[in-house]
Amino acid sequence: MAESSKEWNISFAGCGFLMAYYCGVYSCLFERAPFLLKGVKKICGASSGALMGAILASKSCENLLEMSREARKGTLGAVHPSFDLLKIVRNFLNHDLPEDAHLLASGRLFVSLTRVSDGTNVLVSEFDSKEDLIQALICSCFYPLYFATLFKVFSRFQRYVDGALSDNMPFSGLRNTITISPFSGESDISPYGSPFYFHDIYYNNVSIHINFINAHRVVIAFFPPEPEVLAEMCQNGYKDAFLFLKENGE
């Protein structure tokens, strides 16, 4: 993709523990096409995709691997009663995001939320403080039935849950949006799809091939795998992003 003055967006699909894939994508873009990251107008995401949008500058997968190790301590992984994933995510954000993260994110980061009262999608892009930003990200990751508590409340005095339930890839319909997903499908950067897939579905704006490999990825999204598997996902993200750049003239 040649550098130009044209405006563009980047949108990350929600994908749970498959977020390690995004670390590889980021590493490739940072090394080979940094202008794509520096010049992006809107960074959009739902659930773990929103987390990736918020930590674009972290340049590291180390804490994701640590999260996986913590999740695997319980017999049932992340759904074990002794495991508090939201607490781990909050600690990660508090540690990795700078104190002025809300200023850097306002007007640039668009977090997808689902309003509990009517199921409507809400995109939040203005944040009053670092805590306000973190709370929005926590809400966007809150998948009902996966966590012990019922709802998380954002600062607008509304109840919200996982943004992936209403719009899993914000601004994906715009031609100038680079869509990124760890599921094989029609996203701009995604794993190469097997020719042996049964059908294509759209899960709240994310194209997903129905095949056995994607079915396995769904399981990994909810149940964290070994750190070695996460590292492999990171490598695959790098390779797929490199292929995207090559096909688009970079």
Which listed residue (27, 68, 132, 162) is catalytic?
162
* C-alpha closest to that of 206 among 109, 196, 217: 217
Active site residue 118: no
Active site residue 125: no
Which listed residue (47, 68, 190, 207) is catalytic?
47
CA-CA distance, 250 to 242, in Å (whole number)? 9
HEC assignment per residue over the chain: CCCCCCCCEEEECCCHHHHHHHHHHHHHHHHHCHHHHHCCCEEEEECHHHHHHHCHHHCCCHHHHHHHHHHCCCCCHHHCCCCCHHHHHHHHHHHHCCCCHHHHHCCCEEEEEEECCCCCEEEECCCCCHHHHHHHHHHHHCCCCCCCCCCEECCCCCEEEEHHHCCCCCCCCCCCEEEECCCCCCCCECCCCCCCCCEEEEECCEEEEECHHHHHHHHHHHCCCCHHHHHHHHHHHHHHHHHHHHHCCC
Active site residues per annotation? 47, 162
